[in-house]
Structures are given as C-alpha cells and as structure tokens.
Structure 1
Amino acid sequence: MGKQRTFAVLLSALVLLVAAPLTAAANSFSPHADNKAHSFFFDDDLSSAQKSGVDWARKNSLAPTDMTTSVNTTYNTKVDVWVYSTWNPPADLRNAYAWAGCIKRVNASKCDQHELVINNRKPHSNYKSLGCHEIGHTVGLGHASGKNSSYTTPNRSCMRGNPDHNYYSTHDKNHINGAY
C-alpha cells in the first residue's frame, strides 16, 4: 500500500507541475536592461516613419509598465537604447526587419546599453509594432508563445515572431513589472 500511495503522490505532483501555468518569466530574453529608466537615442539615419514608429512604441507600449523612458538628443555611453538603421545587415540578419542586441554588458544577465537596428533593405508595414517588439527584447522579453502569440485573443502581444500588434500582453507587462 505504501508504494501505491507514494506513486499516487508523485503522479499528482507531476500532473500539477505540467498543468501549472507558466510564470511571467517564461518569455525571458537575456540580457535585459540593468534598470527601469530606459533612455533612447534616435540616430539621424532613421527614416521619419522608423523614428516616429519606434518613438511611439517607447511612449505608448511601455507606458502602462513600471519602466520610465526618456530621449537623449546626443549619443553618449549613458544611453540605454541606441536606435539606428542600416543598409548592410550581417548575413544572418539579412531577412530580419530589425534586431536588438546588447553592446555593453553589466554581467551575463544584464545589459547597460542595447542597440535597436532597423534593416532598411526589408521595410516593415508597421514601425509601431516593430518598435514595440524590439524594445521588448531590451527589457527582457522573448518571442511570445501560447496564448500570447494567438492572432485572435484580446491578450495578444507585439512580441509575436512577426509583430502585428502595437502593445504588450498582460503577461508581458507582468514580466516587465516583475523585473523592474
């Protein structure tokens, strides 16, 4: 009887573990920002559509979170996100609309300065959603999965693999607020 009870307890624990909802950190993307004040510098090589779309995402997509944002008018080493465009993407990113990466690490999981690069060779139809998506990477979000990546749920997110929405889901906002 003792072995059956032990087996039943272990089986119940396994079922609960598998059925439990994923935590907000499930979409974690590293390295993420090292603080909740996110300053941006927009390079002058951006088109007006690129700049206004990413700036819109900065002001509106992050607004309902604990993150604060600002814009620096000159580039310096204290800028958290340097936004620029390129006509010469690396070979592995030629088909990407944009990408975000860490250019100054604090440690393995935190980044002091990110770059957000827009590929001029692959124009996007909505720079608000693209900006939301790439800014999401700079604050620790990975590509959405499950209900966050659904086209039909009202809780969909700009963190989809192909961003088509201008806001973060509740799941994403909870992750941002939990991290900062």
Structure 2
Amino acid sequence: MNSSRRLVVAVAMSAAFALCLPFTANAGHDDNGTDPDNRSQAVKGFNLTANGTKAMNHGKSQLERSVITTSWGGGDIEVYDKDYGDNGWHGYADCTDWNALWTSCDIIRVRFNQYSYKTSSQWKSLGCHEFGHTADLGHRARSNDTDNNSCMREEIWPLYYDQHDLNAIKAGT
C-alpha cells in the first residue's frame, strides 16, 4: 500500500473511531461525578437540623430555577447533616447508586457538615452549592465568575446560581 493510501486509511479510521466515542455536552463546569439520571429529582431529608432543612429547601428551590424539576419523597437526592468534624469540607455530594451502564446516577447523597459555624445565609449558600453538584455542576473558578455571584464558588457564599450555572445545567442534563 502506498503512503498516500495509508494516510487516507489512517484518517478514515481515526474519524470512525472518534464518531464512536460517547458525546458529552460541554456544560462549562461539569462535575464529572454526579450526573443525574433525569431532569426530575425527588428529594428527601433524613433527621435534619433546622439549618440542614434550611439548606435543603434553598438548594431544592435553586434547582427549580433550572430545567430540573423537584418533588418531595426521596429516591433521587438524599440529604443528611451532622458534625463530620474538621475534615476540610462544609458539604459534600456523591453518587451512591449508579445506573447499570455507569452513565448516570440514580441516587445522589448530599451531606452538610455542621462542624464549622455558618450563618443563616451561609447555610442557604451551602444548600445551593451542594444541590448544584446534584445537577452535575462543578466548582467555579474566579476567572469565570468575575462578578462573584455563583454559589458554585467556594468560600464566598453567594446564594444563587447565575446564568452561566443555569445554562450549564441545561446543557448537561
């Protein structure tokens, strides 16, 4: 086979391989860890304190601003709060039950850490932030949140998703 024919075959095989790879929408700051299984998420809190309930309610209301609808009763997002100690995090969201193909999460666990003192506003921001992870949002960097208005930033405590976050949820779910 001559070199030009080998080149044509190599390019064709590369293109065919690339087309076989799964396509993922570019959500801007994809969390790559808690892909929700659909746009309808049922939420349930387990033995929450008043602050944990406040965080959960605010996080749920922020999801409602996006393309994700929520309901009460559980099955999709499970919410807990307790003193998890001085471990470096205020909240944490992770998948506890991946679907059979490992492509999306059926049950996402949200945990709020009571260890460090947080004001009422900070609890709401924490709820917004952790529920953002349930919609597969990752952390925002200062470089792409220059007006400091996204609750997906760390340690600055905004209360809401900004338009960038809402667009990312729409593109990623």
TM range (shorter): 0.7 to 0.9
**Equivalence for 1:58:** 60
**Equivalence for 2:10:** none
Q: Deviations over 1:151-177 (max 9, x none)?
A: xx2x72000022511111111101111
- Aligned equivalents of 2:167 and 2:44: distance in 1? 26
Aligned pairs for 1:39-58 (under 5 A) are 39-44=42-47, 46-58=48-60
Note if contact 1:24-1:172 (Cα within 8 Å) is conserved in structure 2: no
Displacement of 1:57 = 2.4
- Aligned equivalents of 1:53 and 1:119: distance in 2? 11
SS in 1 for 2:79: strand
Which residue of 131, 149, 156 maps to 1:156? 149
Displacement of 1:47 = 1.1
Which letter maps to 1:99? Y
* 2:77 aligned with 1:81: yes
Note if contact 2:26-2:172 (Cα within 8 Å) is conserved in structure 1: no
Displacement of 1:95 = 2.2
Q: Which runs of 5+ in 2 are unaligned?
A: 1-24
- Aligned equivalents of 1:122 and 1:167: distance in 2? 21
How large is the RMSD of aligned CA atoms in angstroms?
Answer: 2.1
**Equivalence for 2:130:** 134
Q: Deviations over 1:64-100 (max 9, x none)?
A: 211000111xx5xxx11110113345xxx71211111
Q: Deviations over 1:9-57 (max 9, x none)?
A: xxxxxxxxxxxxxx9523100231110001111111x211220232122
**Equivalence for 1:96:** 89
SS in 2 for 1:130: helix
* 2:118 aligned with 1:124: yes
- Aligned equivalents of 2:40 and 2:46: distance in 1? 20
Which residue of 155, 159, 163 maps to 1:166? 159
**TM-score (norm. length: structure 1):** 0.72
Note if contact 1:99-1:117 (Cα within 8 Å) is conserved in structure 2: yes
**TM-score (norm. length: structure 2):** 0.75
* 2:118 aligned with 1:115: no
Which letter maps to 1:36? R
**Equivalence for 2:8:** none
Count matched residues.
145
- Aligned equivalents of 1:38 and 1:66: distance in 2? 11
**Equivalence for 2:141:** 145
